[in-house]
Structure 1
Amino acid sequence: MWHLLEPLHALHYYAPEAFEEAAALGYGVRERWPSYFAWRAAPLGPAGAVRTASAFYSFSPAVVGRYVPAAWEVAAPAEVLAARLRAADRTLRAVLGDTAGTLAEAAGLARRAAEAADTAGRPLAAAHAELPWADEPHLVLWQAATLLREHRGDGHVAVLLGAGLDPVEALVSFAAIGAAPEAAFAGRGWTDQEWAAARERLAGRGLLGADGAATPAGRELRAGVERRTDELAARPWAALGDEGTARLADLLGGPWLAAIGAGLLPADNTLGIGKV
């Protein structure tokens, strides 16, 4: 379900319509990070760099501090949230075309799952759960996909903490199993020295070999992290039930193909979007 829903959410960070809305607010759009931090952090309210870095986890506090809290000097979180919904509306209409108006059943099922998400200890999911729902089905679907992905992400952070992987170690260990090239993580803002130090710490724990690749122990640890992340993300789908979840998966096939086929999402990414 994550693989089906994540591309619908992630379009927002790459679509020209989203950059147009960001530029209208006053954000720089020569790179995606000024709008990314504003879009994603806005549900938290006017959060500072420490709170935002804590919730985002894998970003260097230094790179977070470059954009937050300065983002709220450009536009207040409420303004950003309104523009975010406009951007999602325009993006999905452009990508899905005439089918955007046929998503009522999918939106209803996705919303049921999202409203069943447990938010205790999950700051980003809780912040999204407090937002009002849109009326249009394609926007309800986007909001549900967004809440569910942040719910899963919050749980993932908890599992990484339990596994003893700090933010940069989480990325290094992920790259070490071949999940994505190291260059794909450059936007997270860690320096070469910080990355190398994390690699040394992981090697000292027997999780990385001399070549920087994960050892069997490292692969086992990462597999356990992903397995436990899935377990912590299961409550919404248990609430929806097997039949409802299967029906939603069927309904998402067309939108998923449209999102992947739009050519907006990068082929090499840190999330495995579009990969099987």
Structure 2
Amino acid sequence: MSVELSMVRQMWKLLEPVHAILYYAPEVFARVEKLGFDTDTRWPSYFPLRAAPLGAAGHELVSAAFYSFNPATVGRHVPAAWAIAPPGELLAARLDGVGEALDRLAGDHDLAEAAGLARRLADAAATAARPLGAANADLPWPAEPHLVLWHAATILRETRGDGHIAALLTAGLDPVEALVSFAAVGAAPVEVFASRGWSAQQWADARQRLVERGWVNQDGTATDAGAAGREEVERITDELAAPGYRKLGTENVGRLAQLVMPVTMAVVRSGLLPTRSTLGMGG
């Protein structure tokens, strides 16, 4: 039986919180602080922690790969971050920190079977033309089951994200329009998207472009065409992420979901993740 796209989307929602502890766990902050990063907010470490698999990338490459961030915001952190700590040290810090965080949050769960299935799923992911997904897939697999699960979740998350950018490009949405159109369908309040660094004028200009396109009303809400367009973006995103899930098969994907659920719930219940995010979901 073929894996349905609804299952692909549901697995993303289950795995995203597992990946996302990288940006919120105090254990990770403690390690990057030792490297010399300011941890009063998450942004000085967010950009280098996420971009480290790309190597000592410049701000144009990181801006292209992250897409929705204002390049000026990226430029405040990259490439200056590599003068604080090289990518290899950040990769080690994120594994050590995530490992300790997951051990604290889900250490009472036997994750061997979940890790094995997640690795098979990540190994089956289509990473062609997906730079962040491929960069993470290029990294060595850790040995411990909880880190195997996290690394697999990260590969799958970034591979899906790369595909999402392709879907946005197919829809003709530039980075600001992508955010405005997502806010228009109620994915999150407009203020949540301020973290991406676009000015009020840039947001207003993008909204006006989408009004003229027929995607957004003057009050910022989505038209029927805009809602349909955003749903098509999400459908394409699911479809581009689906090949690995189809290779693993419905039974195994369902089993992985069952095994990951307690870990996801432990992360969510920890209160580390925000309740609203630019992904349109908690975390």
Contact 2:19–2:153, Cα closer than 8 Å, also in 1: yes
Give the deviation of 1:273 after TM superposition.
3.4
> 2:275 aligns to what?
267
Deviation digits for residues 21-77 of structure 1, max 9, x if unmatched?
A: 110111110110011001100000000000000000000000000000001000000
> 2:72 aligns to what?
62
> 2:189 aligns to what?
181
> Which residue identity is paired with 2:55?
G
Counterpart-to-counterpart distance in 2, 1:178 and 1:19: 31
1:53-202, aligned counterparts within 5 Å?
Answer: 53-99=63-109, 102-202=110-210
Contact 2:23–2:42, Cα closer than 8 Å, also in 1: yes
Q: Does 1:203 align with 2:219?
A: no
Q: Which of residues 19, 28, 31 is equivalent to 2:41? A: 31
Q: Does 1:215 align with 2:223?
A: yes
Counterpart-to-counterpart distance in 2, 1:274 and 1:20: 23
Counterpart-to-counterpart distance in 2, 1:225 and 1:261: 30
Q: CA RMSD, aligned part only? A: 1.0
Counterpart-to-counterpart distance in 1, 2:218 and 2:197: 24
Secondary structure, aligned partner of 1:47: coil
Contact 2:274–2:282, Cα closer than 8 Å, also in 1: no
Counterpart-to-counterpart distance in 2, 1:115 and 1:136: 17
Secondary structure, aligned partner of 2:219: coil
Give the deviation of 1:98 after TM superposition.
2.1
Deviation digits for residues 133-171 of structure 1, max 9, x if unmatched?
A: 000000000000000000000000001001000001000
Could you state the TM-score of these two structures normalised by the residue count of structure 2? 0.95
> Which residue identity is paired with 1:68?
V
Contact 1:7–1:273, Cα closer than 8 Å, also in 2: no
Gapped runs of 5+ residues in structure 2? 1-10
1:225-236, aligned counterparts within 5 Å?
Answer: 225-236=233-244
Deviation digits for residues 54-104 of structure 1, max 9, x if unmatched?
A: 0000000000000000010000001110111001101101111322xx100
Q: Sequence identity of aligned pairs in percent?
A: 60
> Which residue identity is paired with 2:85?
A
Runs of 4+ residues over 2 Å off in structure 1: 272-275
Contact 1:3–1:274, Cα closer than 8 Å, also in 2: no
Give the deviation of 1:187 after TM superposition.
1.0
Secondary structure, aligned partner of 1:67: coil
Counterpart-to-counterpart distance in 1, 2:19 and 2:35: 21
Could you state the TM-score of these two structures normalised by the residue count of structure 1? 0.97
Contact 1:6–1:273, Cα closer than 8 Å, also in 2: no
Counterpart-to-counterpart distance in 2, 1:249 and 1:170: 29
Secondary structure, aligned partner of 1:98: coil
> Which residue identity is paired with 1:33?
W
> 1:50 aligns to what?
60
Secondary structure, aligned partner of 2:76: helix
Contact 1:17–1:91, Cα closer than 8 Å, also in 2: yes
Gapped runs of 5+ residues in structure 1? none
Give the deviation of 1:274 after TM superposition.
4.5
> 1:243 aligns to what?
251
